[in-house]
Structure 1
Amino acid sequence: MANELYHYSVVSSLMEGIGDSGIPYKALIHHGDHGLGTFRRMAGEMICLDGSVYQMKSDGSIVAIDPSAGTDVAPFAMVTRFRPTLTTGITFSNKQDLSDVMTKLFPKTKNHYLAFRIDGTFSKIAVRTADGQKYKHEKLRELHKRQTTYEFTNIRGSLIGFRSPEFLQGVSVAGDHLHFISDERDRGGHVLDCAADGEVQFSGAVMSTIHLQLPEDDEYNEAELTLDSEGIRVVEG
């Protein structure tokens, strides 16, 4: 169904370094055409745009993934069949300003999920990518210390993401979680900051139906999962 969120695993498992296994992308794409996540051992950032999946690596390169191969898996992912219920032109000066704009566009939805997409020319995009675990169960806080950051100016592309309720911190990333990819599909990553001086097109939809799929493997079931809100805020920017 459109605008229903399929949520695989929880952010707290990434914080604890659970990254060896996950849902095959071959299966994940049956649940949505719009989303974000990561790859085995947290090697790079994932963006799913119009049904196509891309891996954004720490060296700045981007690889189009062939889900039918069945070799790539997502230890964590959020996807939906995105069908916007609101489309409008917006401008914003930074990531917080964008958040404020979305709150005005979708008032009284703080306890729901929101899927969104923004297309156009951005005056600034700051991103980061993770280089992947160096050893089994290396925690996300450690990967954060080695993250690679890039800043782009006057770049055409797409921002896609989700807003998650504060009370679901640890399941999702509370607040706004965004990934970016350029129109040329050669630059992108997890968004730390963004700005659009000129008008860009915003599309969004509220989601009230959530399908949460928890991993069933021993690595997940034996993990000591606790809520590290501050850690999540640090690593997710």
Structure 2
Amino acid sequence: MAYNELYQYSVVSSLMEGIGETGIPYSELVTHGNHGLGTFRRMAGEMICLDNEVYQMKSDGSIVTIDPSTGNDVAPFAMVTRFQPSFTTSIAFDSKQGLSDIMTTLFPKTKNRYLSFRLDGLFKELHQRQTTYEFTDVRGSLIGFRSPEFLQGVSVAGDHLHFISDERDRGGHVLDCKSAGEVQFSGSIMSTVHMQLPDDDEYNEADLELDDDGIRKVEG
């Protein structure tokens, strides 16, 4: 794939229905991108793909490095891209909403398009899920995607973020965040989307419906 094109496997609504037994092998997923988010079989933790490495972030906040070339790890849902930022600057923010507002200012034409982004630096506060954890004064990387509101259920509408520490020993899905001074922000708009839908019986026989409230509650 070319730089800054989105590859997505499956849809968020399938996760909300508990469909998580099968998925795309990580050995195949990494051929589509080096920057992304996702999950694992039976939703056993969150995934972050960063700098050509894949990590599994478990429910206790710990991190496991995944070797896509070995094992049988699969992603029931994933979004990845070959990230090449079109804009880089330094920013400071005191909440996830504050970060969202800054990104809207930096990229005003993303209402109906995707945005990929990355932040590197020291973060004063991070509120994480799976089970809720709070990290303070931790240096690391936040990566994520902004998806259009009209695609809720296909993707997670709005800003979807995962964090991993520089030591690669802590991380997870981000519910809220605050920078400790300025951090480096990089981002790029994505207008080309490649989507692959599952072909197994569980997915094909599911009655998928939009659970907007459920998605917003689970994904923060």
- Length-normalised TM-score, structure 1: 0.92
Please tell me the root mean square deviation across aligned C-alpha atoms, in Å.
Answer: 0.6
User: For residues 89 and 44 of structure 2, what CA distance do their matches in structure 1 show?
Assistant: 35
1:149 equivalent in structure 2: 132
- Aligned match of 2:40: 39
Who is 2:154 aligned against? Answer: 171
Q: Which residue of 2 aligns with 1:200?
A: 183
Give the number of equivalent residue pairs.
219
Question: 3-state DSSP class of the match of 1:230?
Answer: helix
8 Å Cα contact 2:137/2:180 also seen in 1: no
Aligned to 1:223: 206
* Partner residue in 2 for 1:210: 193
Q: Secondary structure in 2 aligned to 1:184?
A: coil
CA contact (8 A) 1:25 1:70 kept: no
| Matched residue, 1:3 | 4
- Tell me the secondary structure at the aligned position of residue 69 of structure 2: helix
Describe the SS at the equivalent of 2:217.
helix
Paired AA for residue 203 in structure 2: Y
CA contact (8 A) 1:38 1:44 kept: yes
Per-residue CA deviation, residues 154-190 of structure 1 (Å, 9 max, x unaligned), is: 1100000000000000000000000000000000000
Matches for 1:77-92 after TM superposition, within 5 Å: 77-92=78-93
Q: How far 1:3 moved relative to its partner?
A: 0.1
CA distance in structure 2 between the partners assigned to 1:109 and 1:236 by the alignment = 20
SS at match of 1:47: strand
Q: How much identity, in percent, do the aligned residues show?
A: 77
**What does residue 135 of structure 1 align with?**
none
1:1-237 equivalent positions in 2, closer than 5 A: 1-129=2-130, 148-237=131-220
Q: Is the 8 A contact 1:45 1:189 kept in 2?
A: yes
* 8 Å CA contact 2:142, 2:162 repeated in 1: yes
CA distance in 2, matches of 1:39, 1:162: 18
Aligned residue identity for 1:155: V
Supply the distance in 1 between the matched residues of 2:206 and 2:70 (Cα, whole angstroms): 29
Moved over 6 A (4+): none
SS in 2 for 1:2: coil
How far apart in 2 are the matches of 1:167 and 1:29? 27
CA distance in 2, matches of 1:2, 1:60: 31
Per the TM alignment, residue 70 of structure 1 is displaced from its structure 2 partner at its CA by 4.2
CA distance in 2, matches of 1:32, 1:108: 24
Q: Which amino acid aligns with 1:102?
A: M
Distance 1:58 1:110 in 2: 32
Distance 1:149 1:16 in 2: 22
Structure 2 unaligned segments of length 5 or more: list them: none
Aligned counterpart, 1:133: none
Counterpart Cα distance in 2 of 1:114 and 1:70:
32
Structure 1, residues 13-42: CA drift from partner, whole Å, max 9, x if none? 000000000000000000000000000000
- Residue identity opposite 1:160 in structure 2: I
Which one-letter code corresponds to 2:181 in the other structure? G
Secondary structure class of the residue paired with 1:198: coil
CA distances 1:124-172 after superposition (whole Å, capped 9, x unpaired):
111112xxxxxxxxxxxxxxxxxx1111111100000000000000000
Letter paired with 1:192: L
**CA contact 1:112–1:206 (8 Å) conserved in 2:** yes
